[in-house]
Structure formats: structure tokens, C-alpha cells
Chains A and B, each alone.
Chain A
Amino acid sequence: MARYGMIIDLRRCVGCYACVMACKAENLTPKGVSWNRLIVEEKGEYPKARMTFTPVLCNHCENPPCRDVCPTGATYKRSDGIVAVNQSKCIGCKYCMVACPYQARSIHEKSEGYFSKYGLTPLEQHGYKKHKKGAPSKCVFCYERVEQSKEPACVAACPTRARIFGDVTNPNSEISHLLEKNKTFRFIEELGTKPAVSYILDQAPKTERG
């Protein structure tokens, strides 16, 4: 069985927000909900300072704390490693939001859409069917796309191919090659969550990648 993971090569990320918006558009997440975020920070002192970009999303942990605290089983781990949410089972207790060390969850509390004065646009009427009010939601690695052999929306959109998605159990996949050839890091590994999302540091040696 596949185990899906993602590598974000920070050497290639130019902070363009394409991933953030691809996620918004693919999943039609409601106002105030962003499954895919870009953290923009600064490192160093003037004039040697640099702006850094770190895209973050659900880490699809091998040991997901959000699943462990879910009282109804709404949050579950699929056999391919994707941590998904069955919204119909969600009772909105928000334990998952507290448990997630990565703050990957956001809650859909407003239902009036982006243009409250005018009601929901046809686009929002179409998209918000998938989003239950009061249920904390998060990135699901676009599993519906993955099941159709497509890349997650953020990966497909990335103008600089900074994001690579694939099966880490397949030794021939691009992601396996990259994991093998590059020094990577994962967020807050000491918690034992075993995230499926890894990063190549911006300062890592430059290597050619097709």
C-alpha cells in the first residue's frame, strides 16, 4: 500500500502564494479557512537580512494526535496514510484543533460567504456543500484528486515545482529519490508524530533537479 508524502523544497519557493490560492480554489474553503498557508519571516540583520517563505499544511502524521483525541472517529487515517475527516461524524468539539501541534486545522464558523450582503455566489453554493459549519477542517492531500492519479492542487499549481508529492514506499518515486539525496527536516519531530511533509532547507547545497 502506498504511503503518501510531500517534500517542499524551500530553495525553490519564491513565496508567490500560488499554493495557497490553488488550495482555496480546489477545496472552495469558506471565508476565514485556509488549509494551506505561507509563513513569511525574516532572518538575519540589515543588510544581510533575507525574507524566508515556509508553506505549511497538514503534516498527515503517521501518529496523528488529532485522530487520537477525536471522540467520534470523524478524523481517521486512510490506508494510504492520508489523514481525513468525515464531517458527518464531527460534533465540533474542537479537540483536534487543540491537539494538533501544527495548527493545521481551521474552523468554518461563518456561513455567509465572501459577500455577505449579496448571499452566496453560485460558486460558493456549489463549494460549501462540502464544508460543515462548526466543523474544524484541514488539508486532506486532495485525496479525491490523488485517487484520479492527479497531484494535489497545490503541487500541480506550484510555478517553481517546489512541491513534490508521491508514494514514499515506492523507491522509484521522485519523492523517494529526493528524500534519499537531500537533507530534509520535519516540523516538531520530537513529538513522535512522524509527519509526512518534509522540507529541504533554503540554505541546502544547490543541486540540479530536472
Chain B
Amino acid sequence: MNLNRRQFIGLSTAVSALAFAGVSGTKLFEAYAGTEQDDAWIPTHCKACAADNRCHLLVHRVNGVAVKIEGNSDSPTNQGRNCAKSAAALLTLYNPYRVKFPVKRTNPQKGRGIDPKWVEITWDEALNTIAAKLKKVRGEDPRKFVFMTGHAASLNIDTDREFAEVFGTPNVIVGATSMACGGSASPINKIVNGGGQARADMLYCKYFLNLGANSQQGGKGNSEEADAFVNARSRGLKVVNVTPILSPSLAKTDEWVPIIPGTTGYFLLAMINVIVNELKVYDKEFLIKRTNAVYLVGEDGLYLRTNDKLKDHVRGLELGNPLVWDRSDNRAKAFDDPSLNEASLEGAFEIDGKKYRTTFEVLKEHVKEYTPEKGKEITGISPETVRRLAKEWVEEALIGKTITIDGVIYPYRPVAIIAEQGAKCHVDNYMVVHAAKILAELVGATDVPGSAKAAGSPTISINPVDGVNISEEFIYKPLKKNPERISLQDHSPIPGSSSGLAWLTMQDPKAYGFDYTPEVLGIWGGNPQALLGDFEQINKIFKDFPFTFAISYEFDEPTEFADIVLPESSWLERYGLTSFVPKTSFTEVFKTKGNYGWALQQPVLPKPLYNTKEGNQIILELSEKLGILNGKNGLLARLNESVGVREPFLLDLEKKYTWEEIIDLLCKSKTGGEKDLDWFKKNGLVTYDAFTIQKYYGYTKYPKARIPLYLEEFASHRVQLKKELEEKGIIRKPNNEFVLKQFTPLPFWEPHPEHKAAKEYDLYCINYKNMQHHFACNVGNAWLMEMTSEQDPYALNVMINRVTASKRGLKDGDRIEITSFIGGKVQGKVKTTNLIHTDVLGIAGAYGPHSANMNPEVKIGTAFADLLKLSEDLINPLKISLDRDLKVKIRKI
């Protein structure tokens, strides 16, 4: 690279003596000469969003300058195409507002938008200062170190948990989960579909009921999925969106049913009610053989079991096999009894003087109260529409039809339902996803051609005691009397992966029973101020930490609370290795190019543009300074277990490695020693034929799997949790009943906090995402922001229904103040539209970043998260994610 580093660093050092590093107006690139002669296309995989690094790119470098990013046509996923985010990443690389060298603050005052007045320091000074602070707390109590990680601009995070573990702290917290986060859907996706993400099988699907997922521009905004969706439409796919907004990523729709935010759960339960109690059309064979619909439960909601004492590790109990009712023998038998002839799907039975029903019968009773009539007031959808959609759903499912693929006969159920993103960012998030799965199971549309299925090849493990699928996230963990983990995961038997509660406990750890107070905060990605909300509370926590360091690409709001910032290389200057498989459909392309493979992410310049290092490299160096790199309890030993290296390419515990060297060992490990880093540097990716279509569908890969219709483990967990909370004297906020209520084997719907807001809050306000800024780390990209502000009529404005606007005397361009029912306030510019529910305002993405040292030209738009407030009664206690639908009032300003 020809930016003359010596000149550049010398220049900036000289400048920092005169002015502060973050604000200097130096013509940074004057030293650039561009004399190096080269012309190369460098293969790398994308990191511009978190779509599992599936898009493969070629970066054109001319005379030391990266000048173009294109899709790599070798790739079976994006097939040579690339989205706006990856094309624009050149400005992520050349962004002069990046963190360009290690800095420390000179302004002791910390707060939103307050300039820390950074000055440049050396890597040695930066790392030594951080190591000294960390050593001190490690000696006292390692738990005092809290490490916040997350996506943000730091998507190459492979060593955070390992570092925390060898340091001795349990406190790795996720910075934030946004509306878009699929995390709260993943445990249900795993137990039903065998994968953290679920997708409609676009190759065969004919009817797609979408509830809040951004399916059309790609679930996570990638080319493969957008293409699959458009191809499906050209084959006659009908798309029905039941959403409060028809956002840009839902534009291609055949029908739009506007729904009041936060009521998807009710809508789904009403659909189920119509199907099981009115239409009475369902896939009996599937329900009997492939689900737990026939299992008998007592009035306590628990399975009736044999008297065996088998170890059930999901429930942490010794239990017998669940029983079903054999109608030919007229008696109960174990679900796997070889003499079982004809299991009853419906009915109530008296056994030993006690009443038992099949779980299907329980479901039928359970959903009776969710009538389409009562729903009109709640969801805003007419009973006729609910009944019509229910009828369409069962008819389009083609129950009984089969399809033969590669000589194998499958049930053909070309209907798919996905309830993600907006539909499930609520206090009841698990339940919405569960209800959607029940709707699919009723017609047998689960993991068969045309239905929703695991994204990729499924992985399922079956509980031998009850024969039902397991989600490792639902395995009961006994509670600790005094919590250790700051995210309070020790006080939840099935702790979610998100960490919303940490931002509450850290306000007053003692009040939550912690016997320590965090003292050092490490930041490596994550932006709770922009994505989680309640910046006032969060900033107070950030301010109260005696010492904070950050590994950052840019000066986002969290980074501006740090005392020292270590500059992280951009994603085009890092190493990574990622696998790929077909995500939505096993298309011809995967059949010809291979359906499984590995792709390299590599630096596209010979040296980083600025004085930066990649985050994983920084962790290696910091570990060395702390004396926790080597030995059998060191970081390298831990990485041997976690990063995927295998014999004979394991790390030598007494050696020192660069991250690049570790990636080389990983390349060899993943290819059986055939291909090393040099090979990948030249070739980019390798593909294999790793599995057949039979292994792509859960139906054929796991013929014995039973999908839970009824989450009996939740009924069991609830009993145990109640006992544990009482015995250990644990009181969860807002109260224990609130937490216990979430452990329900069947989903229910009740009004959310926003539905109970005072009358003056007469509109809803929701957050939606768009493709060009999918993943907030792209908000700082100057090309993307210029394009958005010039060409996207919605993104930077507040969407309001045209009729509603006219009633309130509002027109395009008017400025309004929005106040949420929980006290947040933002301002925004009106954009009237016909594409949003009459009672709803829509604000896109994570715009309007508040920080002193970001490019002023990207600090535009309305920050939705500023309307949110953190409190336990707004957080789902299982998944620990914040409810993101609001009631608001507006005022013209």
C-alpha cells in the first residue's frame, strides 16, 4: 500500500501536538503517491452484514488502491452478484473518520456527543495501560471485568468468550439486540426445524405467509435470498404480508393485511382456532407420527408417563416415557411401544381416576377464546379476513399430496410461514414464533418441500425419554442463589443469549444480589445506545465505570465513553474463514457448484491503511501482556477447543501466533490438510458436494424426529423454577409471576404494555429495516448515506399514513416531535404514505447516531432507539430482549 505510513504517522503525531486527533482538519492523504504498480483481483468473503458471511467477493486493487468490489462468480451463493453494502465498502475502508491509531481521552467529561478530545498514543502505551487495569481487577475479582461484544463494525469476533473465560470473568454481554435480531426466534427454530434460522423453501413454496420478516430483499439482505424469492414469485408464489407496514423489503406482495403492532400472537391463535375448531382440516398423519400431538397430559399440563426412572437431561429429572392412547386397544401405551396400533389424536381419557387429554385436544380448547370476532378490536383485522386466510392456508397446503425428488417421496406442503423480526420483538416473543410453528405443523408444513425449514441442512437431537426434538437453549439449568453473571442469566433456567438485563443490573448490582461491582468495561462491537435504547440509563452505566477500553473501527457512541481506544482494522483488512451451504433452497447452482464449502476473508491491501490491527490479533497481544496466552489454562488452549482447528494442526500452547497464522491452521484443518492459507488467498473459496437432498430436508434426514406442538418442558420448567425461586428466596423483577408465566407449553396472547398506554398516546411507533443499511455498522458509510438521503424517500423520515396525516394537519416535510408512552422523545420529518397502518408511525433502521467524532454527514435521520426505555416489565424474561413496539403522541414543531 502506498499511503506512506511513516510520513502519515509522523504527520499525525505532529498534528496531535497542535490539535486533537479526532478533529484535526489535516489533508490526511496528501502523502499518497500511488506509485506501486499492481493490478490484482483479491477474493474475500463479505462482512458488511451478518448474513453468515455468505457472499463471496472479488476486490480489484490497482497500484495499491482498492478500487472496486464485485461478486465472485465462483460462488454458489451470490453467484457473482453483490448488494449495495458490499459495493460501498470501499468507503468503509477509506473512511478517514475511522479510528486510525491508538488514542486516549484528554477530556475527563463523558456524555452523549461530548468530544473526548482524543490524542494519539503508541500501541505499547495503550496495551500496557489496559493490561495494568485488567491485571488489577483480575487479582481482586475477575468478574469485575465486563466485556461487551456485538456486531457493530466488529463482525470478526472469534476470541471474545475465550478471552473472558481464561481471564476468569463470566461477563461477556451482547451489546444490544435490535428489532432485526433473530436471536429470540432461534431456540424455537432449533427445536422445530433443527436450525437457528428458518427459511421458506423458495424452490417449491407457493403460498408465503409473512409476519414481519424482511424476506424479499433477503432475510439478512443478501443476494441469494432475494434471488430465490423473485424466482419463486415468477413460478407463481403468492405472498401475503400481515404486517403494520409495507416497508421497502416487503414491496413485492400479493396481499397486504395491515395489523396493529404487537398483536401477531392473537392473529395466529385466531387462525389456529379457525382451523382446529371450525374448518377441522389438518394433516392427521403428520400430527400423529411427527409431532407430540398425541401425547397425553394431565390437568397439571405435564405428560402422563410410565413409571420408569430415566434420566431426562432437558428437564433435569428422572422420568418415564410419555404415554399415548391406543384407540384399538383402548388403553395408554408408551409413545414408542411396538404394540401401539392407532394413537388417538383427539379425546379426553380417564386413567386411574385422573383426567388426561392429548396435547392436540388441549390446543383445541386453549385456542377457543381467541375468536376472530374478538380479534377485530385487537388486531384490526376483520373476522372474514382471518377466516379466509385460514381457509387459504389449509387449502394451499395440499394435505395428502406428495412430491418425488431424486427418487424419494415427500409430503408436498407448499405453504410457509415465517414470524420473525418485527413480529417477535415483544415481551411475548417466544410465543409468537411458537404459534407460527403450530400453524405450520397443523398442515404438516414443517421441513418438507415447500414449507418453512431450517436454513441449510438441519441438525436435530432427540430426547430419548420422550422422543421429541431438543433445543439446547431449553435445557433446564438450576439457579444460583447469588447471581454471578451480570446479565442475570444465573437467575433464569433457560438464559437467553441477549443481555438486556445487564443494563439494568449494572445500575445497582447490589440490589440484584451481586457481591461485586464491575470496574472495567471492555467494548468490542455492540451499540446499545443505537440499538437497544434508553441511552440515558446506558450512558450513566458507561460513565460510572472507573475504566473503559474499546476495540473499535469507528467512534460510535459506546466508543466515545472509552478511556483508551484500540483501532480495529476494517473488515476488508481482516482474516476469517467461513463455511456456506444452501440457505433457502437446494437450487441447481448448488447441485452443480457444490453444496458446502469454505471461503476466506483476507486483507485486500498488503498492509492496513492506517495504524490498525484486527480485533482477534489485539486479543492475542493483550492476552500475552496479561500472561494468559500460553499454557494449558491459556487462551491458545481454549482456542484449540473453539475455533475449529484439528489435529495435527492444533496450536502449540507454548508458542506465539498471529491471527493470520491461526487462520492458516484453520484452513488446513477444514480441508483435511489439503489447502492452506496461501491456497485460499489465491482461490478464495473451495466447494464440496457434502450432502444429498435427503439430508437437506428434516423430514428425510431425521425420520424419527418428533416436533413439539406442545412444549411440555416449559410446563415442567415452570414447576421447578417456582420451587427454586421460593427455596432460594430469589425475587425477579417486576415479579416472579411475570417470569413464571412465560414458561407456557402453548402460546397465549394478552395485551402488551404499549396496548395499555394512556389514551393521549394515540399512535403506535415501530422500527423497520431496509436493505442498504441492514446492520447499523453501515450507517457510517458515506456512499450509502448519500444514496439514502437522495434516493430513499422513507429511510430518514417518519412514515405516517396519508389519511392520518391529513386529519392531523401534517404534510410531507413537516417536523414533528414524538414522545413515547415510556418517556423517550425524538424529532423527525414527516413522510406521508399509503404503506403504513393508519394508527402507526414507522422509523427505519438505526439512524441519527450521536457521537462527536463520526462523519457529520452521516449523523442524520431519526434515532428510533431514543424512544425506548429499559425496564423488566418490557423485557422478555426468557430471551432477555426488549419490547420494541411503542405507543406515542406527536406534536408539530
- Which residues of A pack against B, CB within 8 Å? 11-12, 14-18, 20-22, 24-26, 28, 31-32, 34, 37-40, 42, 44-53, 114-115, 117-127, 153, 156-162, 206-209
Q: How many residues of B contact A (CB 8 A)?
A: 80
Question: CB of B790 within 8 A of chain A?
Answer: yes
CB distance from B547 to the nearest CB of A (A): 31
Q: Is the CB of B68 within 8 A of A208?
A: no
* A contact residues around B233 at 8 Å (CB): 11, 206
Q: Is the CB of A18 within 8 A of B81?
A: yes
* B contact residues around A51 at 8 Å (CB): 246, 248, 251, 835
> How many interface contacts (CB-CB < 8 Å) are there between A and B?
202
- Contacts A20-B791, A118-B29, A126-B67: A12 and B234 contacting too (C-beta < 8 A)? yes
* A contact residues around B252 at 8 Å (CB): 14
Please tell me which one of the listed residues A14, A31, A38 contacts residue B230 in the complex, with CB atoms under 8 A apart: A14
Q: Is the CB of B771 within 8 A of A157?
A: no
Q: Is the CB of A31 within 8 A of B26?
A: no
Give bound CA distance, A143 to B66, whole Å. 21
CB distance from A10 to the nearest CB of B (A): 10
Q: Is the CB of B791 within 8 A of A50?
A: no
Q: Is the CB of B34 within 8 A of A160?
A: no
The residue of chain B having its C-beta at the shortest distance from the C-beta of A27 within the complex is B68
Question: CB of B834 within 8 A of chain A?
Answer: yes
Give bound CA distance, A36 to B668, whole Å. 43
- Contacts A14-B251, A28-B67, A40-B791: A119 and B28 contacting too (C-beta < 8 A)? yes
- Contacts A12-B234, A26-B68: A21 and B29 contacting too (C-beta < 8 A)? no
The residue of chain B having its C-beta at the shortest distance from the C-beta of A151 within the complex is B80
| 11 more CB-based (< 8 A) A-B contacts, given A38-B791, A119-B27, A209-B234 | A11-B234, A12-B230, A17-B772, A40-B792, A47-B258, A49-B246, A49-B834, A121-B91, A125-B32, A156-B80, A159-B223
* B contact residues around A21 at 8 Å (CB): 83-85, 87-88, 772, 783-784, 787
CB distance from A35 to the nearest CB of B (A): 12
CB distance from A119 to the nearest CB of B (A): 4
Q: Is the CB of A123 within 8 A of B69?
A: no
Give bound CA distance, A51 to B794, whole Å. 11
Q: Which 8 A-B pairs have the closest CB atoms?
A: A49-B834, A159-B223, A119-B27, A21-B84, A51-B251, A121-B94, A118-B96, A21-B87
* B contact residues around A158 at 8 Å (CB): 81
CB distance from A40 to the nearest CB of B (A): 5
- Contacts A25-B90, A159-B78, A159-B227: A115 and B97 contacting too (C-beta < 8 A)? yes
Binary per-residue interface labels of chain B (95-128) against chain A in the complex, 1 for a CB within 8 Å, 0 otherwise: 1110000000000000000000000000000000
Binary per-residue interface labels of chain B (622-649) against chain A in the complex, 1 for a CB within 8 Å, 0 otherwise: 0000000000000000000000000000
A–B Cβ pairs within 8 angstroms, 11 of them:
A17-B772, A20-B84, A21-B84, A21-B85, A25-B88, A50-B253, A51-B248, A118-B27, A121-B29, A122-B64, A159-B227
- Which residues of B pack against A, CB within 8 Å? 2-3, 25-30, 32, 34, 62-71, 78, 80-85, 87-88, 90-91, 93-97, 216-218, 221-223, 226-227, 229-230, 233-236, 246, 248-249, 251-253, 256-258, 771-772, 782-784, 786-787, 790-794, 801-803, 833-835, 838, 855, 857
* A contact residues around B249 at 8 Å (CB): 14
Q: Is the CB of A115 within 8 A of B782?
A: yes
Q: Is the CB of B65 within 8 A of A53?
A: no
* B contact residues around A115 at 8 Å (CB): 95-97, 782, 855
Q: Is the CB of A118 within 8 A of B226?
A: no
The residue of chain A having its C-beta at the shortest distance from the C-beta of B251 within the complex is A51
The residue of chain A having its C-beta at the shortest distance from the C-beta of B97 within the complex is A115
* B contact residues around A24 at 8 Å (CB): 87-88, 783, 787
Please tell me which one of the listed residues A37, A47, A52 contacts residue B251 in the complex, with CB atoms under 8 A apart: A52
* A contact residues around B790 at 8 Å (CB): 34
- Contacts A46-B834, A118-B28, A208-B235: A123 and B83 contacting too (C-beta < 8 A)? no
CB distance from A17 to the nearest CB of B (A): 4
* B contact residues around A15 at 8 Å (CB): 217, 248, 251, 771
Give bound CA distance, A121 to B66, whole Å. 11
Give bound CA distance, A121 to B90, whole Å. 10
Q: Is the CB of B226 within 8 A of A122?
A: no
Give bound CA distance, A127 to B62, whole Å. 11
* B contact residues around A207 at 8 Å (CB): 234
CB distance from B776 to the nearest CB of A (A): 17
* B contact residues around A124 at 8 Å (CB): 94
Q: Is the CB of A46 within 8 A of B65?
A: no
Q: Is the CB of B88 within 8 A of A16?
A: no
Give bound CA distance, A36 to B90, whole Å. 18
Give bound CA distance, A34 to B794, whole Å. 19
Q: Is the CB of A17 within 8 A of B84?
A: yes
- Contacts A14-B216, A160-B227: A206 and B236 contacting too (C-beta < 8 A)? yes
- Contacts A18-B82, A125-B32: A157 and B70 contacting too (C-beta < 8 A)? yes
* A contact residues around B83 at 8 Å (CB): 16, 18, 21, 157, 159
Please tell me which one of the listed residues B28, B81, B258 contacts residue A159 in the complex, with CB atoms under 8 A apart: B81
* A contact residues around B221 at 8 Å (CB): 16
Q: Which among B65, B223, B834 has the highest number of chain A CB atoms within 10 Å? A: B834
Give bound CA distance, A51 to B770, whole Å. 13
* B contact residues around A161 at 8 Å (CB): 81, 227, 230
Give bound CA distance, A61 to B376, whole Å. 54
Please tell me which one of the listed residues A16, A50, A157 contacts residue B772 in the complex, with CB atoms under 8 A apart: A16
Give bound CA distance, A57 to B186, whole Å. 42
The residue of chain A having its C-beta at the shortest distance from the C-beta of B246 within the complex is A51
* A contact residues around B32 at 8 Å (CB): 122, 125
* A contact residues around B34 at 8 Å (CB): 122, 125-126
* A contact residues around B91 at 8 Å (CB): 114, 121, 123
Give bound CA distance, A42 to B794, whole Å. 11
- Contacts A21-B787, A119-B30, A159-B218: A14 and B246 contacting too (C-beta < 8 A)? no
Please tell me which one of the listed residues B63, B80, B229, B784 contacts residue A126 in the complex, with CB atoms under 8 A apart: B63
The residue of chain A having its C-beta at the shortest distance from the C-beta of B588 within the complex is A210
* A contact residues around B95 at 8 Å (CB): 115
* A contact residues around B771 at 8 Å (CB): 14-17
Please tell me which one of the listed residues B26, B90, B227, B834 contacts residue A118 in the complex, with CB atoms under 8 A apart: B26
CB distance from B570 to the nearest CB of A (A): 13
* B contact residues around A117 at 8 Å (CB): 25, 96
Please tell me which one of the listed residues A20, A126, A153 contacts residue B787 in the complex, with CB atoms under 8 A apart: A20
Q: Is the CB of A22 within 8 A of B246?
A: no
CB distance from B307 to the nearest CB of A (A): 57
The residue of chain A having its C-beta at the shortest distance from the C-beta of B224 within the complex is A159
CB distance from A34 to the nearest CB of B (A): 7
CB distance from A209 to the nearest CB of B (A): 6
CB distance from B63 to the nearest CB of A (A): 7
* A contact residues around B217 at 8 Å (CB): 14-16
Q: Is the CB of A114 within 8 A of B782?
A: yes
CB distance from B822 to the nearest CB of A (A): 28
* B contact residues around A18 at 8 Å (CB): 81-84, 87, 223
CB distance from A26 to the nearest CB of B (A): 6
Q: Is the CB of B251 within 8 A of A22?
A: no
* A contact residues around B234 at 8 Å (CB): 11-12, 206-209
Give bound CA distance, A127 to B60, whole Å. 13
Give bound CA distance, A127 to B66, whole Å. 11
CB distance from A200 to the nearest CB of B (A): 11
Give bound CA distance, A53 to B793, whole Å. 12
Q: Is the CB of A25 within 8 A of B68?
A: yes
The residue of chain A having its C-beta at the shortest distance from the C-beta of B80 within the complex is A156
Give bound CA distance, A117 to B857, whole Å. 12
Please tell me which one of the listed residues A121, A157, A162 contacts residue B87 in the complex, with CB atoms under 8 A apart: A157
Please tell me which one of the listed residues A40, A46, A153 contacts residue B248 in the complex, with CB atoms under 8 A apart: A40
* A contact residues around B84 at 8 Å (CB): 16-18, 20-22
Q: Is the CB of A123 within 8 A of B67?
A: yes
Give bound CA distance, A121 to B94, whole Å. 6
Q: Is the CB of A119 within 8 A of B29?
A: yes
Q: Is the CB of A121 within 8 A of B96?
A: yes
CB distance from B834 to the nearest CB of A (A): 3
CB distance from A95 to the nearest CB of B (A): 24
* A contact residues around B70 at 8 Å (CB): 22, 153, 156-157
